[in-house]
Amino acid sequence: MAVGTAWLITIATAPVAGAIILCLMSWLGRRSDCSVERVGRVAGWVALATASLSLIGAIALLAPMNRGGDPEISLAWIPAAHIRLALHLDWLALPFLMTEAAVTVVAVVYAWGYHRSEARTPLFYALLLLFAAGMSGTTLAGDMFLFYVYWELMLIASCLLIAVWGDGQRREAVALKYFIFTHLGSLLVLAGLLILYDNTGSDSFAALRQADILAPRVISLVISLFTIGFCVKMAIFPLHLWLPDAHSVAPMPVTIMLAAAMLSMGAYGILRFPLSIFSPEQIAPFATPWMVAGVVSAIYGALMALAEQDIKRIIAYSSVSQMGYILYGLGTLNHDGITGATEHVVFHGIVKALLFIGVGNVIRATGRRQLAELGGLARTMPLVAVCTGLGALAIAGVPPLAIFDSEWMIFSGGFHTAQLGLAVLALLGSLATAAYALWFTWRVFLGTQPESLTADPLPWTMVVPGIVLSVLTIIAGILPGAVFNWAEHALDTILGGGW
């Protein structure tokens, strides 16, 4: 067995194996004399070891890919129906896999301090790993059947985490709303996949290139289904209605994974299916609508973040805005726009995880989440203030921090299209991003501190991830070349390599 194949299997199976071990731990823990705290600590270590193994595997696969190989494995499952179970990693999937694996490690470490041990703690970590398995499996799937199985695993695991461990009395209602909205999007994706399967006779991604011989009406239908379905996952306005509640109610480690990794799975779906299957001429009618939807979502999300008073919802609406920039970049259908959008997935993952960690630290230390009840926390939480302020500057596109580079490419792609008015609007929309980012930072960390406001000390596991992500935000901004190369490598797969 080749080394690359072994790592593929490890990435796909390790989180599931870890989840099974944690479920057994939960069952055995209830029947033993071990303390809840001890079981919780062991469960945290099992989750971290599993998540770290997946990240190590993703990094290890860089070597064979740089040598020109595409690690893959394929097994016959239903030969009569031409359905195989295939795992495959290419340059298109790599940035998404790296982002998901790194964010999962950060979320697990953060959970050590955030999550208070209880009898169900092993199940909490097991669902985190299954959530991660759904995301990594989605990016590694080499066939439509496996893609959809992992796509639904993402939803089920995250929905259970919100329903059981979410904040407030509305968590079950919010989880139901989240499930209904995103599952409807998934059903549209499933319909598109079934149409492709019916017309190509195979569920293999490699066979999907044959789909470009479909009738124009069928092609338009398939692209429309994929666009709407994947835009639900990206939370593009007006398909975003599930996101503010889900992000604000979910436990913070889950929110980190939702915002920093799961949203980008919608962008991956658009890249993997319509953009990788159909020709530029076939996709061209959808380019302007994608760009319009992206700009509207970017501006709307920024304005809603500016109007919000709940600090967790402010960063949640920021995700609606940032996903808009990614969709806008994809809609440019040119080198700079698509490369920038793919880069933005990685940089947004880093910065959004950093911002939600900062918000989580403020909420845990003060017990408050309304802007009117906060202020002056830089005096009592200087390290958290510096890290979160850095994240706010990064999301605003300030150089030389990470997001500046990807936004530069996205805007450049916009100005290389015929839609110069949209390009100007997208550029001006970034002013609203800067406004809410700076307003949020000023109101929470600067200004006058209310007399009744105090901040409790935080465990190191809730502070160190923010420091690490702050360093990565700076490094990625100064040295973006590696991520740029990953994104550029993927262009041979997108639009048939017709650049």
In contact, 343 and 483? CB cutoff 8 Å = yes
Residue 453 pLDDT level (bands cut at 50, 70, 90): confident
pLDDT for 497 beyond 60: no
Phi, psi (deg, nearest 5) at residue 204 = -80, 140
Q: What are the beta bridge partners of residue 370?
A: 310
User: From CA 12, how far away is CA 28, in angstroms rounded?
Assistant: 26
* Whether residue 202 has pLDDT greater than 90: no
Q: Answer yes or no: is pLDDT of 233 > 90.
A: yes
The CA distance from 351 to 444, in Å, is 18
Q: Which of 295, 398, 289 is nearest to 347 (CA)?
A: 398
What's the CA gap between 43 and 64, in Å, rounded?
Answer: 33
pLDDT category of residue 201 using cuts at 50, 70 and 90: confident
DSSP assigned state of 116: P
Q: What is the pLDDT of residues 153-197, one digit of tens each?
A: 999 999 999 999 988 888 999 999 999 999 999 999 999 999 988
pLDDT band at 209 (very low <50, low <70, confident <90, very high): low
- Going from the C-alpha of 452 to that of each of 366, 368, 373, the distances in angstroms are 10, 11, 9
DSSP string, 152-211: HHHHHHHHHHHHHH-SSTTHHHHHHHHHHHHHHHHHHHHHHHHHHHHHHS--BGGGGGGG
Strands (E), 281-334: none
More confident residue, 359 or 497: 359
| Interatomic CA distance for residues 77 and 83, integer angstroms | 6
Q: Tokens at residue 155, please?
A: 């939803």
Cis peptide before 244 (omega within 30 of 0): no
For 141, phi then psi, to 5°, come to -60, 135
Q: Is the pLDDT of residue 499 over 50?
A: no
Question: Distance (Å, rounded) from C-alpha 219 to C-alpha 331?
Answer: 17
List pLDDT tens digits, range 87-122.
889 899 999 999 999 999 999 999 998 888 777 889
Report the C-alpha gap between 135 and 233 in whole angstroms: 12
What is the per-residue burial (b if ≥16 Cβ within 10 Å, else e) of 3-19? ebeebbbbbbebbbebb
Interatomic CA distance for residues 125 and 105, integer angstroms: 12
376 sits in the region (left: phi over 0; alpha: psi -120 to 50; else beta) called: left
* pLDDT of the residue at 424: 94
Task: Output DSSP code: residue 370.
Answer: B
